[in-house]
């Protein structure tokens, strides 16, 4: 077993399983995806530590536990079409690709989208489409989505995400101010105005969701 594999197993046991993540498919995916390849080479030794790390364009790769928490909340079985807002390093995208049928991911920085696409292709993580654009609009032509995950903090939930979420679908999004947010899970039980069930998953801190229906740059 290579050293990074050992670090992944330790990460999952001590940081993720120990904090209550129980979905075995999520745990297996995080044991599998080589997180160190999604950060700069000089940070590879820190990739499995219990914290986020910087990537280019002043963005971050999320703390492993937060990736697991958000992913588990999506309740993926392998048959879903998933929308990811904020491709970033591509690490979360890779996790999703192992757990869903199709993943559509939007990134506002072309340099990040290009790098993520190259890494995902090199690692043979398929069923992923990445495009560059304003993620606050969602991806209407591919909707509805069974699950939507937003990896940036929003001032409120963009209307497009609710509209593009299938009935029975789950949306996980950090909502709050520019510095701290509440991680919210929304389940769409119907298309009626009262057909949304909200659940708080705890406090988080994400980079800002920039766009027409998010924060100004």
User: Catalytic residue positions?
Assistant: 62
Q: Report the C-alpha gap between 100 and 96 in whole angstroms.
A: 6
Phi first, then psi, for residue 211 (nearest 5°) are 165, 180
Q: Crossing angle of helices 24-32/64-73, nearest 10°? A: 140
Q: What is the DSSP string of 31-50?
A: HHS-GGGGS-GGGGGGTTSS
Q: Tokens standing for 164?
A: 């593009």
Q: What is the DSSP string of 100-165?
A: SSEEEEEES-HHHHHHHHHHHHHTT--SEEEEES-GGG--GGG--EEEEEE-SBBSS--HHHHHTE
144 Rama sector, left if φ>0, alpha if ψ -120 to 50, beta otherwise: beta
Query: What residues contact residue 34 under an 8 Å CB cut-off, 6+ apart?
Result: 4, 8, 123
Q: Report the C-alpha gap between 7 and 12 in whole angstroms.
A: 9
């Amino acid at each position: 077993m290579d050293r990074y594999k050992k670090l992944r197993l330790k990460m999952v046991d001590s940081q993720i399983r120990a904090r209550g993540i129980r979905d075995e498919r999520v745990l297996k995916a995080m044991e599998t995806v080589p997180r160190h390849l999604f950060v700069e080479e000089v940070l590879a030794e820190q990739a499995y530590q219990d914290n986020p790390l910087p990537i280019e364009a002043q963005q971050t790769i999320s703390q492993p536990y937060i990736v697991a928490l958000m992913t588990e909340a999506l309740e993926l079985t392998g048959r879903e079409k998933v929308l990811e807002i904020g491709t970033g390093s591509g690490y979360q995208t890779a996790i999703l690709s192992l757990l869903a049928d199709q993943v559509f991911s939007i990134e506002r920085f072309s340099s990040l989208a290009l790098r993520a696409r190259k890494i995902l292709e090199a690692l043979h993580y398929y069923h992923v489409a990445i495009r560059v654009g304003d993620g606050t609009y969602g991806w209407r032509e591919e909707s509805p989505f069974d699950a939507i995950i937003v990896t940036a903090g929003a001032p409120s939930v963009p209307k497009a995400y609710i509209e593009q979420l299938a009935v029975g679908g789950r949306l996980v999004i950090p909502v709050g101010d520019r510095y701290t947010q509440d991680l919210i899970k929304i389940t769409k039980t119907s298309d009626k105005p009262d057909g949304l069930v909200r659940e708080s998953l705890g406090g988080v801190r994400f980079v800002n969701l920039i766009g027409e229906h998010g924060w100004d740059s």
